[in-house]
A and B are shown apart, each in its own frame.
Chain A
Amino acid sequence: MLRYTIRRLIQLVGVVLVLSMLLFAWLRLLPGGPVSALLGERATPESREALTKQLGLDQPIFVQYFKFLGRAATGDFGVSTGVQPGDSALDIFLQRFPATIELSFFAIVIAIAVGVPLGYLAAKRRGGWFDNLSVVGSLIGVAVPVFFLAYLLKDVASSSLGLPSQGRQDAIDATRVTGFFTLDGLITGEFDATLNALEHLILPAIALATIPFAVIFRITRAAVLDVLDEDFVRTAEAKGLTAPVIRRRHVLRNAMLPVVTTIGLQTGALLSGAVLTEKVFSFAGVGQALAIGFERRDYPVLLLLIIMATIVYVVVNLLVDLSYALIDPRIRTR
């Protein structure tokens, strides 16, 4: 198990290197560039040239790349030109990453907490009205665009429920420790800060959760239907076990394998959903930074954020693979 984990982490280093190379070239192939973005279209050729030189963009691309690698090794990922001009890319990452992790975490928790029980119930009542209703509901969940639902929640739900619809926290004087606002409040004992951060999280997290919820619901339903037909469930019934024991120990435990796989794959979808959701809710996370970064061709910030998102995706899927062994002894003892 340990050897497997180490091998996967070494693979990750290779993935990051190749990805950084591709991204580096690809970003520079985008039309326009940071110079036009910063100076606008009416800038003089002289000022353009001066800025190009200042940003080091006049050098051949492989020279730029190796310089980047050299600086990255010392923890210097360059300076932002568009998102927050003048700030270091690393600082922007450290500010915004916790926000997106928080948002995605709450979204996936909502998706699992609603999707798995509903999927189980729908399977148990296959063909009944509850099943039909929730299958249609999950289809709508997948079909409705995230930005539409986000605007709907922002404009309708926030006013009727009195929930905030902008930003990560009100301008209150909260101490920062980790950058995770909900966690910081718990650490410093400023529980009102945590509560405030949670209120800001609810609506964007619900908007972001819809697609993963719908997918998790459907996979759970299908997996439970498969397991309910298994002989060992009949054996459990023949033992006269109570319904909760059969559900937990015999049905759900066996149905979890495909569900866990789905959860891993959905983290990728979460990141793309976060771009839209954060934009709508002015939530200062990675998604918002990516959107602004693309508009203003902020090469250093885009590069760092996309690579970090990739690392998160690979690590989450590694954790998923490792959790198989926890769930299924046939993998563990092979």
Chain B
Amino acid sequence: MALLEVRDLTVVFQRKGEEPFRAVDGVSFDVEPGQTVGLVGESGCGKSVTSLAIMGLLPKRGAKITGTVSYDGTDLLKLSDREMRDRRGRDLGMVFQDPLSSLNPVVPIGLQVTEVLERHRGMPRKEAMIEAKDLLDKVGIPDPNRRLKEYPHQLSGGMRQRALIAIALACRPKLLIADEPTTALDVTIQAQILSLMKELVQDLGTALVMITHDLGVVAGLCDEVNVLYGGKVVEKAMRHKLFAEPRHPYTHGLLASIPRLDAAPGEKLTPIRGSVADNIPWTSACAFAPRCPNALDVCRAETPAEVEKLGRLLRCHNPVVPGTPAAEEVPV
């Protein structure tokens, strides 16, 4: 049985006097123990909302969540606030995007690590401090004894993210969710953090849900990849298969838009036209149709159904034929 089974997860934001907004629309995916699964898409596709819904961190008021999120057989969405509080940080850890703003500026790093150990493992402060030192050591923070007493502003960006990873993994959760953990970091630090995460999840046998817009991150880390667009999974496949043979025009476009080092000087980049609409028409039509080079009349009329074939899930009326080169250049 999978460690995490997300089925038909739907999140609708409803504000007074405004149209309901369907941020996540029937997302399903599995995470096996120890597996790394990617959720990929551009800003606004629903990937962060998906992760917050799994963690139970969406506001109670204004967000309607349906579907099931079963962790080890328990539906997390049915748990009470208190039961979910007991699980967060113990069974599920999370690493966020901006390491500076994600750490409390007025609390020493040490306490920010030990408080989670005190909470879930019942350790006394002293014992927790020793464990915290080991944890900082494990995530590659030099001189951990000194760092424990320091405050977030005294650490570099990379070290802050290492500290957050240490916090998220402090109680050895079976599942770690990382929401764009490298986006706010320098490129060289990004690589270090990614290899650290890869090493840690392998050592600890932790399953990882990696949320990113960066296909480079996916290529280096993920076993299976879910491509999200407009709150829906539009293509899902194992990483190699997806990279070798993208079928959804959106996936194809994402891969084609990666700048290549071997391109001739002066060669133009290949972007995907347009941007994510603020309010995608949810009733009918494929959400990607307005930006799709392959769009047919049927795409604008009805939502494509989910089709699973040969280990690939696809939601498209007119998929890209394997072997098609990148779409023609389009004026930006």
Contact = CB atoms under 8 A, between A and B. Distances in A.
Nearest to B154: A333
A249 interface: yes
Interface stretch (B96-104, B226-234, B243-251): B96-104
A239 B94 CA distance: 8
Interface in A315-334: 327-330, 333
Contacts of A330: 105-106, 151, 153
B11 interface: no
A254 B82 CA distance: 25
A10 interface: no
Interface string B149-165: 00101100000000010
Interface in A231-277: 231-232, 234-242, 245, 249-250, 253-254
Considering the complex of A and B, which 8 residue pairs feature the smallest CB-CB distances, nearest first? Answer: A240-B88, A240-B89, A239-B89, A231-B101, A329-B151, A238-B94, A232-B104, A231-B102
Given A231-B98, A239-B167, A249 B89 contact: no
A235 B105 contact: no
B116 interface: yes
A192 interface: no
Contacts of B106: 253-254, 327-330
A76 interface: no
B96 A234 contact: yes
A186 B258 CA distance: 77
Given A235-B96, A238-B168, A330-B105, 13 more contacts: A231-B98, A231-B101, A234-B57, A235-B94, A238-B94, A240-B85, A240-B87, A240-B90, A241-B89, A328-B106, A329-B106, A330-B106, A330-B151
Nearest to B52: A234
A242 B90 CA distance: 13
A230 interface: yes
A240 B98 contact: no
B101 A249 contact: no
13 contacts: A230-B101, A232-B105, A234-B57, A236-B104, A237-B88, A238-B88, A238-B96, A240-B89, A240-B119, A250-B104, A253-B104, A327-B106, A330-B105
Contacts of A236: 104
Contacts of A237: 57, 88
Nearest to B177: A238
B107 A231 contact: no
Contact of A240 (B104, B120, B164): B120
B88 A239 contact: yes
A265 to B, nearest CB: 22
Interface string A214-243: 000000000000000011101111111110
B302 interface: no
A187 to B, nearest CB: 37
Interface residues of B, number: 32
A135 B119 CA distance: 35
A245 B125 CA distance: 14
Given A245-B115, A249-B115, A329-B151, A240 B105 contact: no
Contacts of B87: 240
Contacts of B103: 232, 235
Interface of B: 55, 57, 84-90, 93-94, 96, 98, 101-108, 111, 115-116, 119-120, 151, 153-154, 164, 167-168
A232 B102 contact: yes
B191 to A, nearest CB: 24
Contacts of B154: 333
Contacts of A254: 104-106
Contacts of B101: 230-232
Interface of A: 230-232, 234-242, 245, 249-250, 253-254, 327-330, 333
A209 B55 CA distance: 44
Nearest to A327: B106
Contacts of B57: 234, 237-238
B107 A249 contact: yes
A237 B102 CA distance: 11
A249 B118 CA distance: 14
A250 to B, nearest CB: 5
B140 to A, nearest CB: 20
Nearest to B120: A240
Contacts of A249: 104, 107, 111, 115
Which residue of A235, A328, A329 has the most chain B CB atoms within 10 A of its CB atom? A235
B105 A329 contact: yes
Which residue of B87, B103, B104, B116 has the most chain A CB atoms within 10 A of its CB atom? B104
A241 B85 CA distance: 7
Contacts of B104: 232, 235-236, 249-250, 253-254
A239 B114 CA distance: 11
